[in-house]
Amino acid sequence: MRAVVCSSPHAIAIEQRPMALRASGEVLVQINRAGVCGTDYHIYEGLHPFLKYPRVIGHELSATVWETDFKSNFDVGQSVVVNPYIACGLCHACKSDKPNCCMNIAVLGVHRDGGMCEFISLPPCNLISAGSMSLDEAASVEFLAIGAHAVRRSGIGQSQNALVVGAGPIGIGVAIFAQVAGAKVTLIDRDVARLELASSVVGIQSRYAADESVSQSLNDYSNGDGFDFVFDATGNRSSMEQSFSYVAHGGSYVLVGLVKDDVKFSDPEFHKREMTLKASRNATNTDFEHVIASIKSGVVPISKLLTHRTSLEHVSTDLPRWSSNKEGLIKAIVEISVT
């Protein structure tokens, strides 16, 4: 089994490995497509806080069922979306129907080898029927589900004001599903080119460069009220701390990005606004199903989001190049197999 392996920071290679075997009670799938995530770039750069090398990367996956057993609800040849969050099913979080924050979670490509390879064996509960979706669409579900989960967790509603900080793929996913929920979305990012690209793809008119004047610009735009909901999708400590000031009195702040650091805020300001602070981690099958339905209904511009493409053979060259030069890049897709 060929696999893209990160053996150390700034080093990836194609390895030859034996054909994967189906584990007892699991489903063996052939990987069709793998999206390249910000997590994968962080792994390559040696910046991910929860990973040990070597590691086969890849968790944004579409696949085809290759081998199963009679206990599975899946058929050989069926197209599936992979939920890469392997939960234990036994801990407090799992028993509370929150497998996305399982106390013993094993995320593909992070805690255990991922799917940027030809075959992988997975629990059937981590597979979702892709139905009539294309292979590219099915591989895009996971990264969009991160944003969909954050929006669902926020409780945002019709006509409420949302500020999305960070115009990368996760921020774009948040913006899309905040709009689906009926919110009025404003987008900010320090990279002007990325901001313009993301805004044009998602159809957001209200956007501001995150420069030294952005606080005043946002204050003017909101008539001094701030935003009902603020979503930080940067994973940058300074940005995460600054974004507390954008939240309206009685508003909510959702931390979608993750940083390996302490995040500090002013308690008097926090209490004065009676702010609600939430973390959003991963996604659940409910979010995956919501994304799948939204893609099928045409509200997600998949063709515009997938800006770069490569093969399993060439990803070891392309990923390092994209890591250092993301001009025009929203989402890269790796073609692994066609059936």
Tokens of residue 188, six digits: 């900010």
User: 248: Cβ–Cβ under 8 A, 6 or more apart, which residues?
Assistant: 161, 222, 225, 226, 227, 228, 273
CA 195 vs CA 85, 192, 200, 289: distances in Å: 30, 5, 9, 28
Residues facing residue 255 across a β-bridge: 232, 279
- Mean pLDDT of all residues in 284-309: 97
Given the structure tokens 């300074």, which residue do they identify? 238
Tokens representing 99 are: 């497998």
Measured between alpha carbons, how far apart are the two ends of the chain, in Å?
A: 16
Please tell me the predicted confidence (pLDDT) of residue 42.
85
- In this prediction, residue 81 carries a pLDDT of 98
Share of the chain above pLDDT 90, in %: 84
Instruction: Read off the pLDDT of residues 25-60 as tens digits, 9 standing for 90 and up.
Output: 999 999 999 999 988 998 888 877 777 889 999 999
Region 2-131+301-335: CATH code: 3.90.180.10
| Segment 65-72 mean pLDDT | 87
Q: Both tokens of residue 163?
A: 């500020």
Q: Which backbone phi and psi does 220 adopt, to 5 degrees? A: -65, -45
Query: What's the pLDDT band for 18 if we cut at 50, 70, 90?
Result: very low
Whether the CB-CB separation of 105 and 126 falls below 8 Å is answered with: no
Paired tokens of 39: 């997590």
Q: CB count, 10 Å around CB of 160? A: 20
| Domain range summary for the chain, segments of one domain joined by + | 2-131+301-335, 147-279
- CB 330 within 8 Å of CB 305: yes
Phi, psi angle pair for 26, to nearest 5°: -110, 180
If 0-12 CB within 10 Å is exposed, 13-18 middle and 19+ buried, where does residue 26 land? buried
Average pLDDT, the chain: 93
Least confident range of 3-17, 58-72, 133-147, 196-210:
3-17
48: Cα separation from own chain's centroid = 15
What is the pLDDT, as a whole number, of residue 251? 98
Same fold, 2-131+301-335 and 147-279: no
Do 336 and 32 touch, CB atoms closer than 8 A?
Answer: yes
Q: What is the pLDDT of residue 19?
A: 55
Phi/psi of residue 138, nearest 5 degrees: -65, -35
Q: Of 64-78, 140-154, 178-192, 291-305, give the lowest mean pLDDT range.
A: 64-78
pTM, two decimal places: 0.93
The third-level CATH classification (topology) of the domain covering 147-279 is: Rossmann fold (3.40.50)
Task: Using DSSP, state whether 255 is helix, strand or coil.
Answer: strand
Residue 299 is predicted with a pLDDT of 95
Q: How many CA atoms lie within 13 A of 37 on its CB side?
A: 30
Count of all residues that appear for the chain in the document? 339
pLDDT tens per residue across span 128-187: 999 999 999 999 999 999 999 999 999 999 999 999 999 999 999 999 999 999 999 999
How far apart CA 261 and CA 239 sit, in angstroms, is: 13
